[in-house]
Structure 1
Amino acid sequence: MTTPPPSPAEEERVLRLGRRTVLARIREGSPDRVPLLMCCGIGASQEALQPVVDTLDAAIPVVRFDVPGVGRSPTPALPYTFQQIGCLADALMRRLGHSRYDVLGYSWGGGLAQQIAWQHRARVRRLVLLATGTGAMMVPGRPEVLATMLSPRRFRDASYAAGIAARLYGGSARQHSDDVGGLYRHLHGGSRRGYAYQLLAGAVWTSLPWLPTIAQRTLILAGDDDPIIPLVNARIMATLIPRARLHVYRGGHLDPLLEPDRIVPAISDFLS
């Protein structure tokens, strides 16, 4: 599988937001629909979510961006927190003229999405959490899996990514490891320092104490074979978030990207 190029309806923009510069990709969609802000996984540029965007209801406007130090957004001099990136993401939506929006977060980006929904609750309508957990206070994956996650090599070496795909990602990656290498060939790698900043931000953050205060309707999607974020984490979030609904799909951590036709329609229905 290869990641498809952006459709002609998408536009890339480089935006200066305070002291940060970010690369954003925007799909217009229908003007009467609430836009969806997408947050990517650790080390991954916004291109990683292209299969999700292409499968999502075409009427939904979509905004994606590269976190500072990842993809084509410059690496800042100092580390940042989830709270700071949450403010940056909301500033992006304000700059684009959106007074209200939905948020989807995948993996590491799911933590960021939770932070945005909690921090900017008056502006976020609905929340979608995809293959994610509650940060530092969650049920971890196996130690050998977490050790592999410490290095960004899989984003730079497609052959290496294919070789570790089965044990790292589970699900469809067990049978189609070459598809993982194909997916990563189309990503824009960030800096090692940018990857370290993401690791540090996640290591000192958790949503667990304040999950019961998330007021938005929330859709939680999780695979039953995810070595990185075990399914029990989704069940915990679904229990603690008052208006949450859990959707368990067969597969692993990358199945939303490798087989989006099975999973993304549930997101389109929820956002409708």
Structure 2
Amino acid sequence: MIVHHETTGDPARPTVVLSNSLGTDLALWAPQVAALAERFHVVRYDSRGHGRSPVPAGPYTIEDLGGDVVALLDHLGIERAHVVGISIGGLTGQHLAVAHRDRVDRLVVADTAAKIGEPKTWRERAALVTRDGMSAVASGVVERWLTPEHAAAHPEKVRWLTEMLLATDPTGYAATCEVLATTDLRESIAGITAPTLAIGATGDVPTPPSATRAIAEAVPGGQYREVDAAHISNVEAAEDFTSALLDFLA
């Protein structure tokens, strides 16, 4: 299976793979694409069960999500890439850097943790969307993605993110919730050898900055940056987030 993807920039340049969060698609990275494409070959993709990617039967595992990235790199003829992931995309990036370290050049993980939440919470959410659809969780999820102040000042971002979440297939969303219920990389990330940057957000509730900072502290030589935003910091604090990416990847 090859997930839906889009490429931007010169393929002769180093590749950056961008991995989206739960309930979003590759459009989430719109604030970063132009700046990254000036220096890199940018590959965005929809995680399985999301966007225009296939929705195989679940539940999914972190090995499934990581394997999809490896299969995509193979499909595109790319041996190594920088990997940038937000939320569950950051969890995928950590797994790749542990299990497929020969494919990861530099790693950036944002608004994430080595273990995100508790199994009961994710399984309850999966059951809810399976029964009642994405509208059952939309408002509660999106209100955690942006700080209240930013959401009030930018209703267009709230609409955009809400539409993206509502467009997610409930089956794919529920199957991906099981990844979050079963993945705990807290011990294994000490084996990451790729240079790693963790970007935390001051107002992040699902993955507080202390949890993101813990990744940088666990990975040998890991670096930590913090921006003023909530859980989807690449949208809320786009300029600072992009600057941190470029500084590290350059």
Normalising by structure 2, we get a TM-score of: 0.85
Q: Tell me the secondary structure at the aligned position of residue 248 of structure 1.
A: strand
Kept in 2, the 8 Å contact 1:111–1:132? The answer is yes
The offset of 1:91, in angstroms, is: 1.4
- Mark the CA change 1:57 to 1:88 in structure 2 (over 3 Å): closer, same or farther: closer
Instruction: State which of 160, 166, 170 in structure 2 corresponds to 1:182.
Output: 160
Q: Which residue of 2 aligns with 1:28?
A: 9
Q: Which residue of 2 aligns with 1:4?
A: none
Q: Which residue of 1 aligns with 2:238?
A: 260
1:152-163 equivalences in 2 (<5 Å): 161=139
Q: Which residue of 1 aligns with 2:84?
A: 104
- In the alignment, structure 2 segments of 5+ residues that lack a partner are none
Kept in 1, the 8 Å contact 2:110–2:212? The answer is no
Instruction: State which of 140, 147, 150 in structure 2 corresponds to 1:173.
Output: 150
Kept in 2, the 8 Å contact 1:69–1:195? The answer is yes
- Mark the CA change 1:248 to 1:259 in structure 2 (over 3 Å): closer, same or farther: closer
- C-alpha deviations, 1:56-108, integer Å up to 9, x for none? 35221111111221111121123221112212211111110111111001011
Equivalent residue letter for 1:22: V
Q: Which residue of 2 aligns with 1:15?
A: none
Q: Which residue of 2 aligns with 1:130?
A: 110
The offset of 1:30, in angstroms, is: 5.9
Identity rate, percent: 26
2: CA distance between counterparts of 1:115 and 1:167? 25
2: CA distance between counterparts of 1:77 and 1:30? 33
Kept in 1, the 8 Å contact 2:126–2:174? The answer is no
- Mark the CA change 1:187 to 1:199 in structure 2 (over 3 Å): closer, same or farther: closer
- In the alignment, structure 1 segments of 5+ residues that lack a partner are 1-19
CA RMSD of aligned residues (A): 2.9
Instruction: State which of 225, 240, 247 in structure 2 corresponds to 1:247.
Output: 225
- Mark the CA change 1:228 to 1:173 in structure 2 (over 3 Å): closer, same or farther: farther
2: CA distance between counterparts of 1:30 and 1:77? 33
After TM superposition, the structure 1 stretch with the greater mean CA deviation from structure 2, 191-200 or 44-53, is: 44-53
2: CA distance between counterparts of 1:148 and 1:176? 29
Equivalent residue letter for 2:48: P
Q: Tell me the secondary structure at the aligned position of residue 22 of structure 1.
A: coil
Instruction: State which of 51, 62, 70 in structure 1 corresponds to 2:42.
Output: 62
Q: Tell me the secondary structure at the aligned position of residue 59 of structure 1.
A: coil
> How many residues are aligned here?
243
